[in-house]
Every structure is written in C-alpha cells, then in structure tokens.
Structure 1
Amino acid sequence: MRNLFGNLFERWTENEMRITVVCALLSAVSLALSLTGTFSGVLPADIAWIAIVLCGFPILLGAARGVILEHDIKADLLVALALVASVGIREYFAAGEVALIMQIGSLLEDYTSEKARRGIEKLIGLKPWTARVRRDGSDVILPADEVRAGDVLTVFAGETIPADGTILEGRTSIDQSVMTGESIPVDKKEGDTVTSGTTNRFGTFSMRADRACGDSSLQRMIRLAEEADANKAPIVSLADRWATWLVAAALLCALLIWLFTGEFVRAVTALVVFCPCAFILATPTAVVAGIGNAARYGILIRSGDALERLSRVRRIAFDKTGTLTHGRPQVTAFRSLDASFTDDDILRLAARVERYSGHPLGKAVVASFQERTGEDPEPVSDSHTIAGRAVSGRIGGTEVAVGKAEYFASLGMPLNGAVEAADEYLGQGATVVCLSHGGKVVGLIALADTIRPEAGDTVRALESAGISCMLLTGDNERAARSAASAAGIADVRSDLLPEEKASVVKEYEDRGEPTCMIGDGVNDALALSSAYAGIAMGGIGSDIAVESADAVLVSDEIKHLPYLFRLMGKVMRKVRTNIIASLLINVSAVALSAAGALTPVTGALWHNFGSVFVVVNAALLLREKD
C-alpha cells in the first residue's frame, strides 16, 4: 500500500504546474487568514510568511540565478527587490500578495501556453514507437527508429503506420484525420501510399517503407513543431532588453520618491508596481497562442519571427503543380471518335489496356474508371509496353492500344480527326492520349492536373483582404494560363527556372511589397527560402521545400490561407495592445505611488492586474476559428 501511494504521489508531482497550484492555494489561504487576523498573537510570526516562502522563494531564487550565474537582469529581480523591501518595512501581507499574484500570473501564462501547444503536442503524440519488420521471412517487432527505406513492414488493424511507404499486399481503410482533416477513413489498396502517424482501421496489409522512420512526413512535422515551440520572435528579445532598463528606471524612481517625499513606504510601493511583468508577458503569450491556434488547423509555423513576417505579407506567389492543383494527373474528358463506340466504351477499353501500367497517366485512367464504375477493369491478353510511346493488348483477338497521336501517325494508322479534336483539350493545358482498336484511332482521353476546388475562393478571399496573388510556374504558358484562369489569378509568369522564381519574388519585395511564396517542390525551395516569408505544402511537398519554408500546410489545404493571414494580423495587434496597456498601467501606478494613493498592498493588486490582462487578452486568440 505504501508503494502504491508513493508511486501515485511521484506521478502526480511530475507535473510542476500541479505543485505550483498547491503552493498558490496554500498561500491564498494563509493571506486570507493574515488579512482577517485569525491567528494574530497565536503564532510566533505572521501567517503570511507561508505565502512569502512558498511563492516568494522561487522568485528570489530565479532572480539570484539570473544575476549571479547568467549575469542577466530579469523581471524576477524587481519582484525580489519589492519582496525584500516589503518584508523590511514589515508589510508581510503585501510581500505575500506580490509573490502570490506573480505565481498566479505565471500559472495563467503556463496554462495559456499549454493549451496553445495542444495541437502541436497531439501531432508529436502520434509518433509510433515500434514496427513489425520482415526479417528472414518472419515478422520481428523492432523500435520504429530502426526502420529503413526498403524494409517490408506488416501493419495490423488498429495500429499506427510507422513510416511513409507503399502498400504491397492487402486492402484497408486508413484514418488520416489527424494529418489531413478527412473525417472519413480513406480506402487503400496495392500501390497506394500511406503516411506515418495515420491509423490502419481495417484488415492487415504489408507495405514497403519508402523512407526511414526518422525521415517520415510525421517526423518532419514534429521537428517543425519543436522549432516553433522553442523559437522566440525578435520582439520578445527586445522586450527582455527593455526589461533591464526598466529595472534601472524603477530603482531610480524609487530612490527619487524616497528623497523627495521622505517616505520609504512610497518608494517600496513604486518598486512593487514598476515590475515589468506584464510588459515581458505581452509578446510571448500572444505569439504562442497564435502558433498553437494555427496548429489546430494543420498549419505549423516555424517560429515567432516567421509569424511576425507572415503578418506583414502583402503579396502571395503561388506555385502551380501541387499547390494550386492536386499535383497528379486526372481524367478530365473522354470522347469517342467512332460511332461504333460510346464515350464510356473508350474509357473502359483504355482502362483495361492500362490496368497494369506503371505510368502516371495510365494509373489515372484506371483510377477514373474505378471511380466512375466501382469496378476493376478486366485484364487483356498479350499486354506489352512500347517504351515511352504506348501500351497495347488484345481484347477478343483484336489489338487495342493507348498512346499519343504521333505514335499512331508514325504507324500510318487513320487518326479519324483525333488531332483536331485534341486541340480543344490541349488549349486547356491537358495531355491527350488516343485509343486505337483494330488498326484505327477510335477515341481520345484528356488528362490534366486539375485545379483544387477551393483555389478560386481562396484567391478571392486573399484579394479581399488586400493581399495580391500571382502565379509562378515552370510549366508552359498554356497550362499556366488555364490554371490561373480557373483560380482567378491575373498575374501569371510561366516557363520559369528556380532562380527565376526567386528573382521575381525579389523584384516585388524591392518595390516594397513583402511577398510570400507558396510551393511544394524542390524547384520551389530557392524561392521559399529567399522570399520574405515561405509556406510549403507539407503533405506532398519535398523535404527541401518544407525545410526552406517558414510555415507548413500539413494537410495541403490552401483554403486555410485567408484564416492564417487574418490570424497573424490579429496576433500582432494583440502584441501591440498588450505592450501599450502594460506600459500605461506601470506608468500610472508609479505616479499614484509617488502621490501616496497606493500602498504596497493596493499597488501589488494594481500592477498585477496588468499581467493578468495581457495573459487573458492573448488567450482570447485561442478562440479564433477558421
């Protein structure tokens, strides 16, 4: 029994916030008893000493550590001076009250920070610890960190997928809600990719790890989350530097008040109210709340510095493929050129020929047929591939092939008006393949990287917020114009090399327009890192692009961009409001102290009202919703 309670106590006390809460509660009780004089004359000392010791000692220790070991003057020093001065004039209740309210302010800050980081910590908690790896024909459970690219893994129902990879055998449904926000599990089969951190909901499957566990998309997001939590905005460092000057100013004000009024109590009160706690809390609480709120919507911001720069963006440069578009080809049209075949016949025959194709266009044709019919295409006989040109097979003894019109023309095959019919789709930036049956072209299929359905609304919302949008792409002008038109973007630059993208971004920044680049590929990395701010598509983005960006859209949802920039603006307004309010509260409190209107007790209340105000004001950011 003793061991049981000992273990429970040890686990409970692992959380420092719990210990601080208990100390604060005991201190509050002791101050209430001191104020009412319940134990006056009974105890050898004022019961307020409980608050001074429990809440004041950590402050004194922190101040001493800062001055002696770190050679740094922090807000704790002013509080420590106020504590010592209050005890020196036997204002024990005031000393305990200062210590208690400082601890309450600290608890509020910790609570705000903890709640703000909850979305990030949820992501970190997804990290798988073990993996079932195939070794010498049998499955062996190993630490997930030992998974390497090329390993074959087995994943049971209910387990977390330990690495990014491709399904080799089996069908299942994957819960991707945490990573992508999809509320319904996604069906997966052989050849489909799966992501580390998502959950296998149905059946057992084997997969090939395409990346080591340490290089998975989940681990990449965790590293970004840890950076976001650890970094501070430059404005925070500025506040720390100002705090040093405020300490010197507080000591000077207290000395002058003592000299001119001759009342040491007023000098002590000035020390109590001059503590720049609210000023120090003004920025980090708002920054942490903003980063945490963004994380709830699948947006990871690398640092407070990145947050500040994102708030100033006046122009956004979109990449096309994988950013404004889905980044993969999809069938946009299929059409018969022969009265013997319907349009549906063309897609069905093409899907049968392409059933085992490894080409992205072939996979897109098969996927389109499966999506429309809910069936797998029937196999063909004598299937073979003409490298880089066509795929063919026999259906009922008749040869059927899928390829470019140029290939069929080179065979002298009748094109049946395919070239003219294809021009309509080529003008929209699509790729067109033809279907031949029995020695003549009988239909065509258009495939394109389709625009994201939310792209148009996103661009309009950004433009309404005063942020101009443009398209920068290495794709040809026809495809670029088509995508830009669908998204409602007028400013288009196409056929750009990576360095040319970066040059265009710099061109606008030289004009005084802070520009944000949004991309996903290796070719975007230079523009992402050289832009005033960069946002990467985290789900399909390359490692280099993600590492070069200031923020990452984990779920690739560009529809969250208007919310992101609106939130960044609100965060910086909160910072400015908090700083101004904290300075006004401190200045007014010093003036009232010099006039004798405040005592050490009421001064402590007035001063710490500022700390509570800035923390609560920052915490309101957690209520912001997209």
Structure 2
Amino acid sequence: MNKFEKLMGFLEGLKMTIVGGIFLLISLILLITNTTLPIDPAWVTIVICGLPLLYLALSRLVYEHWVSSALLICIAMVASLMIGEIFAAGEVVFIMALGALLEDYTVRKSKQGLRDLINLKPQTGRLLIKENGDIVEKEIKVQEIKKEDKLRVLPGEVIPVDGIIISGDTSVDQSVMTGESLPLDKTVNDEVYAGTLNLYGAIDIISTKIGKDSSLEKLIRMVKEADEKQAPTQRIADKWATWLVPVALAIAIITYILTWNIERAVTILVVFCPCALILATPTAIMAAIGQATKHGVLIKSGEALEKMGNVNSIAFDKTGTLTYGNLEVSDIIPLKENISKKILLKYVTISEVKSEHPIGKAIVKYSKNESINYTQPEEFKMIPGKGVSAVYNNKKILSGTIKFMEENNITINSESIEKLDLLRNEGKASIVVSYDNELVGIIGLSDVLRETAPYVVNTLINDLDTDVELLTGDNHKAANYFASKVGITNIYSELLPENKVEIIEQLKCDKKTVCMVGDGINDAPALKTADVSVAMGGMGSDIVIDAADIALLGDDIENLTYLKKLSNATLFTIHLSITISMIINAVAIVCSVLGLLDPISGALVHNIGSCAVVMLAASLYDRDFSDYAHKSKDNITIKKPITN
C-alpha cells in the first residue's frame, strides 16, 4: 500500500468522517443564518469525504470497469462545485462516507480460523530405524518424513502423516476429519490420518501420504481455496448505479438543453444521488444484527444476513448440530434370563469404572444417574482398540468388541449378532459384556437427538419453504434411521470433508442458495464453500466458528428458524427502503425539472428519504420474531427419507 492509499484510508476513517460532519453542520448553520465566511466550512467536508470517494469511483471505473454509485455522487459533487453550491457538494459526499462506514462496520471477516487449522499440523514424528541391529526411535520433523517410512505413535500423540497400522491396537479420535465424537478402534491394516489423535495404545505405522497429499493438508487447502473463491459482492446501491448514472446524466442534459438552466441540471444530479439507497442496506443490517445478538445469534457480516434471506436450501451436519454430540446409554439388552438390566449395568460399570475411553465414561455416568450400586474392580486391564478386562468377586468381566470376546473364547450366538446389527443400523455404538466366561448382555450408546430438531426441520420445510439436506459420515442405514427421527428427506451419507464440499457445489450448480450448518473442524471447507454458513457456537470449535458467517452462541438450533425469518424480514425492509427512496427521488427529480427546487433545497429534500430509511431500519431492532423461536412442536409430520 503506497502513501496515497494510506492517506485515503485515513480520510475514510471514523474520526475524519466525524470531523467532516462537524464542518458540514457549521456550513448549514451559516447557510440558515445567512452568514458568510471567506471559505465555506463545507470545503473541509469535501476534502475529507470527497477525495476518497473520487479515488474509489475512478479506481472502479478504470481498473474494474465498474460503474458504481460513487461515480454518480462524484459527478453531482463536481457539478455542484462548478455552480458554487458548496454545501450541496459536501452534503452528498458526507452521506456517502457515512453509509460506507456503516456498511464496513457490519462486514468484518476473521482469518483466525484458518490459522488455528494450520496450527493443528503435527510438527514432528517418531521415525523407526535400525541401529546396531536394534529398532530405535528418532524424532524428526514432519517435513523430513518420506513415503513408506515406519513411524511410532504413542498414546496421546497426534498422528503425523496418513498411514497404515503395521503393529498395535488403539482407539483414534478422528473428529478433526469426520466430525464424529466417538473414537474409532484401530488395529493392524487399518488406515489412520494426519492430525488425528492416538488415544490409548502405541502403534507403528507405515506412511502412505505425506506433505501436501496428507488428509489434513488437503483439508487446509480446501478451506483456503473455498475462501479465495468467494467473489466480492456489489452493494445494492452499486448494482442500481449501473443504470442510475446514464439516466441521471441524460435527464440533466435534456433539462439543460430545454431550459438552458444549469442550476436545474445540477439539482437533478444532486437529488438523483442514491444517498437513501446507500443507507438502506447498512442501517437495516445493523438493526438486524443488534436484534440477533439479543437472541444469542452472532452475525459477522451484512452480506451473510442478506444471503441468508435468499437461502432456499439448508444442509445440516449431524453430530453436534441436530444432535448434542455426546454419547449416552440408549439400550441395555440382557442376554440371559437370570440377568436383569440393573445387574448387567452393574457388571459393565464395574469393568469400565477405571476406563478413560468415552464409552466407559458414558456408561459410568449413566449408572451414577440411575443410582446403580457398584464397586471398584479387584483387577483392571485395558486392551486398546478391543475392550477392558476386570475381576469382581473372583469372576472375570469382559466388555468390548465381538473380536475381543472371540479372542477370549466367549461364544457369540446368532441372536446376539442380530441385535448388534440392529444397533449398528441405528447409528449406535455397542459393547458386548461377558461375566464368568458367559455372554450376558449388550450395551448400546448413541448420540442424543436435540429435542427441537424435528420441529426446526419441519418449520424450515413447511413454513419457510426451504429445502433441507443431511450431510453425514454415517453409513446408509444409520443415516436413514436418523432421518426418520427428524424428517429430512434428502440424505448424503458416508461423507468425508471433500465429499461435503462437492455436494454443496452441486447444490449451488442446481441454482440453489445454500446454507451449511456444522460444528466440527471437518465441516470448515463445506462452511466456506456454501453461500452462507452457520456454526453451533456452544459445541463447535473456534476454527468452525471463525470459518462460519454466523454463529449460534447459545447452541440452540431453534434459533436457526428465528435467523431465517429475521433475514427474510431484513431483505424485505431493504427492498422497501429502496422503493421509498426511489419514489422520493422521482418526485424530487420532477420538481427539479420544473424549477421548484435548487441544489441546496434538493439536497435537503432528498435527505427526507435518508431519514425515512433509517427509521424503517430501526424498526427491525425491536420487531418480535418469537413465533419462530417458540412455536408449538406438536403434530409435526415426518416424511420418509431418501438416501443419496
């Protein structure tokens, strides 16, 4: 940025604009009191507010071939100065500067999310090499890792590159890639991804994808690319200016030719200035953002609010958005007649009470809430990726996977397999429990559906005429089961981050304005790709909140319907304000042609439109949208889902 651009930036700032406004007010007082000074104070306003405007108008015209509203106002400013109407020139450029400040205030975007995502990249890895016939570990930088290198990852460490496990069992937290809160058990020949967290067992892997080819690097690259693809959006006033400029000039020229009155021509240019048009968008958006903040909805930009009003398709991630993102015990299935649910729960709690695994913690928490009496086991052992073993009253209790049971010679009958398959098809996690070498039961756990999720989906589809899609990493059957609970008919399952991006892009190609709702880091590329994005602020990571345009700070998904209604009302208010301002301008133009207005009175008259726009926008702040936040949730019709 050169010195001239820095100077323009300084003049555009809030402090200098206030100074310009003060000098314009002094000029108005002098005008009303019929007092003159050697130099009209409005000249200060023209220099402060007019120079940046002139630079902006010429830059857009020459470099971007963009006929903006700034150009029309500059023409009016120059024409006013040519006939000595200093106050009129200062007034139009000051209102333009004020409108730009208001709009800039509502359009602040953060890049912190991308920086946080980059910080997830592991810096080192443990390379396995031979020294004197022994296998030893050597810590090296991630950049030095080569394809097919053998690496060791200890419990609690981040996996440095994509690879295949060649030794060891563990559980891996893959939420950074898949968004799913439940760790996945991994064993030999299973794939692991860079940036994911190794929770329990030490594993040896052979690297398969390194550097820019790794899954984490691909995720970072997708966020960057999606951010760069966001095209700059013209303000509504600038879109109108494409035809306002030639029309204003034509009417002014024709009027001058017919009347040979330069003052009438200049008055037309002054009243044609889209000051109310410029104020329509930022004032309405500021009022709406203030209204949203009171309801725990953080809207980061006016552009996002405008786009939300045009949204006709909303894509939901599942975990942490339509669900709470926390595992809870959902099914207690005894498999022996003499084993009750309470006894089964007691056995499995004793085995899991010392476990650090999320499943074990969820079971212990549930047992405490159910007032189950349990004791500490006499012995405890955790087998990463498989389960736990405990001793109680000299009897062994095993809790874990089917494979874990088979390795310990516990017979799994066909009835048990059917029950496990049913739980799996419902998207639930499950563990099998044995006591004294006999299979005694199954515990199912699931993410908890938000109570208001069916209502939100129903309201969006039926009341707000918005399509709804589910984008999830779950398998087809689990996705269908979940959709049957909430009423989503369009389902895309078994998705990785890049698949979500592809689907968002396809929806946009189908002429849809798409909103993406998510809470996991894996959602960041899709959030950036969508026309407008919403993050769950209570559960979502800082990266996701920064990547999104809007955040639901209270983690209340019901606020999504409120947000959509508010956005619709904001767009309506903006369009109504534009209509009012155009009507006032049209009347003022006719009066100018007839000679009923001069440049100064014309400038004051068209300010009536600006005041009307501000008052209309202010009404948004206290308008009641509670019907969409607290509507009855009864009698909701759930449609049959269709998996894509």
TM-score norm. by structure 2 comes to 0.63
Cross-structure match for 2:45: 55
* 1:582 shift after superposition: 3.2
Whole-Å separation in 2 of the counterparts to 1:467 and 1:276: 33
* Equivalent pair of 2:271/2:589 in contact (CA under 8 Å): yes
Aligned to 1:558, the other structure's residue is in SS state coil
Describe the shift of the 1:476–1:66 C-alpha distance in structure 2 as closer, same or farther (beyond 3 A).
Answer: closer
Evaluate the alpha carbon distance shift between residue 101 and residue 611 of structure 1 in structure 2; reply closer, same or farther with a 3 A threshold. Answer: same
CA contact (8 A) 2:57 2:74 kept: no
In structure 2, relative to structure 1, the CA distance for the partners of 1:335 and 1:71 (3 Å cut) is closer
The equivalent residue for 2:560 is: 561
User: Residue 516 of structure 1: CA displacement?
Assistant: 4.4
Select 2:396's aligned residue among 396, 399, 403: 399
Structure 1 residues 81, 551: closer, same or farther in 2, change over 3 A?
closer
* Contact 2:12–2:97 (CA under 8 A) maintained in structure 1: no
- Aligned equivalent of 2:382, options 382, 385, 388: 385
CA distance in structure 1 between the aligned counterparts of 2:389 and 2:271, rounded to whole angstroms:
84
**Alpha carbons 2:460, 2:468 under 8 Å: kept:** yes
SS in 1 for 2:579: helix
Q: Which of the numbers 79, 87, 91 marks the counterpart of 1:96?
A: 87
1:597 aligns with 2:596: yes
How far apart are 1:354 and its partner, in Å? 1.6
Kindly provide the amino acid, as one letter, of the partner of residue 385 in structure 1: M
Q: Partner residue of 2:353?
A: 355
Asked if structure 2 preserves the Cα contact closer than 8 Å seen for 1:515 and 1:531, the reply is yes
* Pair 1:557–1:442, CA change in 2 (3 A): same
Q: Compute the displacement of 1:593 (Å).
A: 0.5
Deviations 1:459-509 (A, max 9, x none): 121122112334344423442233112213344455567777677667766
Q: Distance in 2 between matches of 1:23 and 1:372?
A: 69
Residues 338-375 of structure 1, C-alpha deviations (whole Å, 9 max, x = no match): 67765344334423322343433223223333555599
Please, which of 217, 238, 246 is the counterpart of residue 240 of structure 1?
A: 238
Q: Give 1:254's aligned amino acid.
A: A
Alignment CA distance shift 1:357-1:300 (3 Å):
farther
What is the deviation of 1:318?
A: 3.1
| Conserved 8 A contact 1:477-1:494 | yes
Aligned 1:286-297 pairs, distance under 5 A: 286=284, 297=296
For residues 239-297 of structure 1, the C-alpha deviation after alignment (integer angstroms, 9 at most, x for no partner) is 43653654454344333323322333322322321223333444455566666766774
Q: CA 1:390–1:515 in structure 2 vs 1: closer, same or farther (change >3 Å)?
A: same
Q: How does 1:250-289 map to 2 (within 5 A)?
A: 250-283=248-281, 285-286=283-284
Contact map agreement 1:317 1:515 (CA 8 A) in 2: yes
User: Aligned pair in 2 of structure 1 residues 150, 98: CA closer, same or farther (>3 Å)?
Assistant: same
**Residue in structure 2 matched with residue 318 of structure 1 by the alignment:** 316
**Bigger mean CA deviation after superposition, 542-551 or 347-356:** 542-551
Counterpart in the other structure of 1:187: none
Deviation at 1:397, TM superposition (A): 2.8
CA 490–117 in structure 1, closer or farther in 2 if over 3 Å, else same? closer
The letter of the residue matching 1:581 is I
Counterpart position of 1:343: 341
Q: CA deviation at 1:300?
A: 5.0
Question: Which amino acid counterpart does residue 269 of structure 1 have in structure 2?
Answer: T
Match of 1:201 in 2: none
Rounded Cα–Cα distance in structure 1 between residues aligned with 2:343 and 2:562: 45
Provide the residue aligned with 1:24 in structure 2: 21
Letter in 1 for 2:583: L
Contact persistence 2:282–2:302 (CA under 8 A): no
- Give the counterpart letter for 2:330 in structure 1: T
Identify the range of structure 1 (516-525 vs 555-564) with the bigger mean alpha-carbon deviation.
Answer: 516-525
Inter-CA distance 623–107: structure 2 relative to 1 (3 Å threshold)? farther
1:295-306 alignment runs, 5 A limit: 297-299=296-298, 304=303
Instruction: Give the corresponding residue for 1:451.
Output: 449
Q: Which residue of 2 aligns with 1:365?
A: 363
* AA matched with 2:596: A
Per-residue deviation, 1:604: 0.9
Corresponding position of 2:159: none
User: Does the 8 Å CA contact 1:24/1:104 hold for their aligned counterparts?
Assistant: no
Work out whether 1:330 is the aligned partner of 2:328: yes
Instruction: List aligned pairs for 1:420-499, cutoff 5 A.
Output: 425=423, 428-463=426-461, 464-492=463-491, 494=493
Identity across matched positions, percent: 32
| Aligned equivalents of 2:410, 2:356: Cα separation in 1 | 27
The residue identity in structure 1 corresponding to 2:43 is V
Cα distance, 1:537 vs structure 2: 5.2
User: 2:119, 2:543 → 1: CA distance?
Assistant: 23
Question: Structure 1 CA distance, aligned partners of 2:418 and 2:590?
Answer: 85
* Deviating more after overlay: 582-591 vs 311-320: 311-320
Deviations 1:294-321 (A, max 9, x none): 67744556783x6555433333343434
- Range that drifts further, 534-543 or 610-619: 534-543
Q: 8 Å contact 1:582–1:614 — kept in the other structure?
A: yes
Q: Judge conservation of contact 1:112–1:619 (CA < 8 Å) in 2.
A: no
d(CA) in 2 for partners of 1:360 and 1:382? 20
Greater Cα offset, 323-332 or 537-546: 537-546
What SS is found at the alignment partner of 1:311?
Answer: helix
Gaps of 5+ in 1: 1-12, 129-144, 152-167, 169-190, 194-208, 211-219
Give the distance between the partners of 2:99 and 2:301, measured in 1 at CA: 24
Gaps of 5+ in 2: 1-9, 125-155, 157-172, 176-195, 198-219, 630-644
Moved more, 394-403 or 486-495: 486-495
Given that 2:12 and 2:52 are in contact with CA atoms closer than 8 Å, whether structure 1 keeps it comes out as: no
Q: Distance in 1 between matches of 2:502 and 2:27?
A: 66
- Look up the equivalent residue of 1:579 and give its one-letter code: I
| Residues 1:409 and 1:371: Cα distance change in structure 2 (over 3 Å) | same
Matched with 2:55 is 65
Whole-angstrom distance in 2 between the partners of 1:385 and 1:62: 68
1:394-428 Cα distance to aligned partner (Å, 9 max, x none): 22433222124565466245989866776775664
1:190-249 C-alpha deviation (Å, 9 max, x unpaired): x9x9xxxxxxxxxxxxxxx99xxxxxxxxx9xx99xx89x98524x2x743653654454
Inter-partner Cα distance in structure 1 for 2:547 and 2:77 = 48
Does structure 2 conserve the Cα–Cα contact (< 8 Å) formed by 1:108 and 1:615? no
Distance 1:618 1:574 in 2: 7
Deviations 1:73-128 (A, max 9, x none): 7655655655565566565xxx32552475356446645764x579x89x99xx99
| Structure 1 range deviating more: 283-292 or 482-491 | 283-292
| Residue 587 of structure 1: aligned partner | 586
Tell me, in whole angstroms, the C-alpha distance in 2 between the residues paired with 1:350 and 1:457.
Answer: 36
* 1:35 equivalent in structure 2: 32
Contact 2:351 2:380 in 1 (8 A): yes
Query: What is the DSSP-based 3-state SS (H/G/I as helix, E as strand, rest coil) of the residue aligned with 2:324?
Result: strand
Contact 2:292–2:563 (Cα < 8 Å) also in 1: yes
Superposed, 1:511-590 pairs within 5 Å as 514=513, 516-519=515-518, 535=534, 557-590=556-589
Asked whether the equivalents of residues 418 and 441 of structure 1 are also in contact (C-alpha less than 8 Å), the reply is no
Distance 2:493 2:71 in 1: 59
**1:539–1:553: 8 Å Cα contact kept in structure 2?**
yes
TM-score by length of 1: 0.65
Number of the residue aligned with 2:206:
none
